[in-house]
Amino acid sequence: MTTLTATATTPAGRRARRKALLHWIAVHALGVAAALFFVLPFVFVFLTSLMSDQQALTRDLTPNSWHWENYVRVFETEGFLTWWRNSLLYAGLGTVLVVVSSVPVAYALAKFRFRGRHLSLLLVIAMMMLPPQVVIIPMYLFWAKQMDLSGTLWPLIVPMAFGDAFAVFLLRQFLLTIPDEYVEAARIDGCGELRTLLKVVVPMAKPGIAAVALFQFFFCWNDYFGPQIYASENPGAWTLSYGLESFKGAHHTDWNLTMAATVLVMAPVILVFFFAQKAFVEGVTLTGVKG
């Protein structure tokens, strides 16, 4: 590109500059087209959420009058606040438990040398790829019959105190990027392993931990299968992701209210993303890199 300005006065240079400009226009036009594809669904959903009940049944794309009270009506729907609270409980508690239980495991897999390390890592990856449905019958029987906890979210929250394969894998990938010298220096200074982990490794691993926490929060917030299996019998234990679908059932002609509820389920996730964009994108990249 720098050569362009130098030769811009010659005819050949002008042609090259025209070509570069056309290229710029083509690329950005394509970019705008793609952006429309990604953004318009949000726009249509949001616009519909502000329509009157009658207008939501028409083919209109924009509201004639703006009905912000639709959002109030959603909150007044029976159960909506409870689902909101349950989602926060599940996602908040789940995230804290997964981070606390996964960090030591990931640390051991990344920095200790022991027999079975290779096997442990294979097991982590296998568990990461395991769909929850594979073991759901025995798990359900365990929580419902032995523990008598069906109709609550505890069967989903308690296992998170025992580490999560995806979190362990992602954290391990991150911890590998921390040079061993730091860990060794702490050891030579007489730091115990736990103190080395808490005082040296964790502060350096903050971006990785933030990514894991975000992923876990989103996983819990979005989880549909778990609440469907364990909480479906008790609407008092439903989460937003599970309740949202029944919302459509109860308001089957009110697309405006359903879309308002949809916006309210999407909003927290998107807000969290804007505050933690860097950590999130970094995390996604980590999951995709070759080990």
Partner 1 sequence: MSTDTLPAQAAATPAAASPGGRNTLRSRRRRDALRTLAFLSPWLIGCGVFFAYPLVSTVYFSFMKYDGLNPPEWRGLANWAYVFTDFPQFWPALRNTLWLCVVMVACRVLFGLGTGLLITKIKTGTGIFRTLFYLPYLAPPVAATLAFVFLLNPGTGPVNSLLEAAGLPAPSWFNDASWSKPALTVLAVWGVGDLMVIFMAALLDVPKEQYEAAALDGASPWQRFRHITLPTIAPIVLFAVVTGIIGAMQYYTQPIVASKVASGVMGGSGVTFVPGYPDDSTLTLPQLVQSLGFSQFNYGASCVVALVLFALSMAFTALLMRRRGGLIGPGDRP
Choose, by CB under 8 A, the member of 9, 54, 65, 133 that binds partner 1. 133
Buried-exposed string 15-29: b where 16+ CB fall within 10 A, e elsewhere: ebeeeeeeeeeeeee
Q: Name residues contacting partner 1, limited to 134-193 (CB under 8 A).
A: 134-142, 145, 159, 161-163, 168-169, 173-174, 176-177, 180, 183-184, 187-188, 193
Q: Does 235 bind partner 1 (CB under 8 A)?
A: yes
Min dist CB 206 to partner 1, Å, is 16
CB of 15 to partner 1, least distance (A): 16
Q: Is 48 in the site for partner 1 (CB under 8 A)?
A: yes
Q: Which of residues 88, 89, 96, 121 is near partner 1 by CB under 8 A?
A: 121
281 binds partner 1 (CB under 8 A): yes
Amino acid identity, position 105: V
5: helix, strand or coil: helix
56-60 contact pairs (CB < 8 A, 24+): 56/254, 56/255, 56/256, 56/259, 57/253, 57/255
Answer whether 97's CB lies under 8 Å from 161's CB. Answer: yes
Residue type, 144: A
* Torsion sign across C-alpha atoms 96, 97, 100, 106: negative
What are the angstrom distances between the C-alpha of 37 and each of 30, 74, 124, 174, 203? Answer: 11, 28, 37, 34, 40
Shortest Å, Cβ 85 to partner 1: 17
Based on the shown chain and the rule CB under 8 A, indicate whether residue 244 belongs to the binding site for partner 1. yes
SS3 of 24, please? helix
7 binds partner 1 (CB under 8 A): no
- Token pair recorded at residue 179: 């040079």
Cα–Cα distance for residue pair 164/261, rounded to 1 Å: 30
Q: How far is the CB of 203 from partner 1 (least distance, A)?
A: 18
Closer to partner 1 at the Cβ: 13 or 235? 235
Q: With CA atoms as reference, report the closest residue to 216 among 83, 98, 87.
A: 98
Binding letters toward partner 1, positions 191-220, x by CB under 8 A: --x------------------------x--
Closer of 6 and 289 to partner 1 (Cβ): 289
- Least distance from C-beta 190 to partner 1, angstroms? 12
Q: In angstroms, how far is CA 44 from the centroid of its own chain?
A: 23
Region 86-115 residues binding partner 1, contact defined as CB under 8 A: 101-102, 104-105, 107-114
**Residue 277 binds to partner 1 (criterion: CB under 8 A):** yes
Stretch that binds partner 1, among 8-16, 36-44, 67-75, 199-207 (CB under 8 A): 36-44
Question: How far, in Å, CA of 211 to CA of 175, rounded?
Answer: 13
Q: What's the min distance (Å) between Cβ of 75 and partner 1?
A: 16
